[in-house]
Amino acid sequence: MEQFTLKDGQFIDQLGFGTYKLNGTKGAHAMTDALNLGYRLLDTAYNYENEGA
C-alpha cells in the first residue's frame, strides 16, 4: 500500500478504514477483519460515539 511521509519522518498509509457507523459486535468484527486484511489506519473520532466497538 502506498504511504505518505509525515513531517516528522514517520509514514502513514494512504488508504484507511472508516469506522463512522460501526457499532457493537459487528463493528468490532469489521475492524478486526480490516486489520487482518492489512489496514493499519483506522479513521476514528469521538463524535462517532462508537467506542464500545
Residues assigned a catalytic role? 48
Q: Kindly write down the DSSP assignment for every residue of the chain, as one continuous string.
A: --EEEPTTS-EEESS-EE-TT--HHHHHHHHHHHHHTT---EE--GGG--TT-
